[in-house]
Amino acid sequence: MAQDDISFTDLIASSIHDMKNSLNVQISELEKISDQCKKVGDLQAYEDLGGVIYQANRMNSNLIQLLSLYKLDKAIYPVDIAECSIAEVIEDVLLQNKSVMDFKNISVAMDCSGDCLWYVDRDLVAGVLLNALNNAYQYTQDKIRVAAQIKDGWLELRIEDNGKGYPPFMLRDEATATAKGVSFLTGSTGLGFYFSSQVAHMHKNGERRGMLIIENGGAYGGGCFVVRLP
């Protein structure tokens, strides 16, 4: 590709990729320092670093979402919808978030049978779950539940917390939540909602397409981030 052919979005995507790689290195080093602080008993430094590591992981997740959306828009994302063990997907995501959840003393319950199998793009669905966990981490008091079940011909994924729940204006419909999720979830762009909505819509079966549902209640009476895939 000639230099004149490089678009602005291509340049931004390349820059995001570089930032993501650099951020991964920083997160790895911060985690090493955090572990050292805990071992020597410097709990204040350990707690301070925990907050920084969480924010760095959240930023990294946002960068990955941006790159994924760019590739989807350019039709260059290698979408791979195949039969997956949903329990294994959830377990991998929870393991990735374990240190962050432990730092804030959040208990995470998983409710998914081992024989729950569905056709999904594993990486994209994992990204949706990571995004939902990041949101729940901010607003829960101390409990998060990740559940999955096959119901009426749909796979339903639920991430529930025991926080105060979503404000009324976000409960109208998916489009409203996506457009107005700025202040409640990210304070800026609502990227997580948009990404999750796009991933859900990519999963289709005949005339049915996946959907994102925002509601309150669930097992803990707080916010419920629900994805239904056909």
Distances in whole angstroms, Cα of residue 162 to Cα of each of 139, 166, 170, 223: 8, 11, 17, 7
Q: Please indicate, yes or no, whether residues 65 and 102 belong to a single structural domain of this protein.
A: no
Cα 158 to the center of its chain, rounded Å: 12
Q: Please indicate, yes or no, whether residues 15 and 120 belong to a single structural domain of this protein.
A: no
Gap between the Cα atoms of 114 and 87, Å rounded: 6
Domain range enclosing 32: 3-73
Q: Please indicate, yes or no, whether residues 65 and 121 belong to a single structural domain of this protein.
A: no
* Residue 210 DSSP class: -
pTM of the entire structure?
A: 0.80
Q: Please indicate, yes or no, whether residues 181 and 225 belong to a single structural domain of this protein.
A: yes
Residues 6+ apart with CB under 8 A from 92: 126
Considering Cα of 211, then 215, then 218, then 223, what sign does the dihedral take? positive
- The pLDDT profile of the chain, 230 residues, written as one tens digit per residue, is 445 566 777 788 788 888 888 888 988 898 899 889 988 988 888 888 888 888 888 888 888 888 888 888 877 788 889 999 999 999 999 998 887 888 788 999 999 999 999 999 999 999 999 989 988 988 899 999 999 999 999 999 999 999 998 888 777 555 555 555 444 444 445 778 888 999 999 999 989 999 999 999 999 999 999 999 99
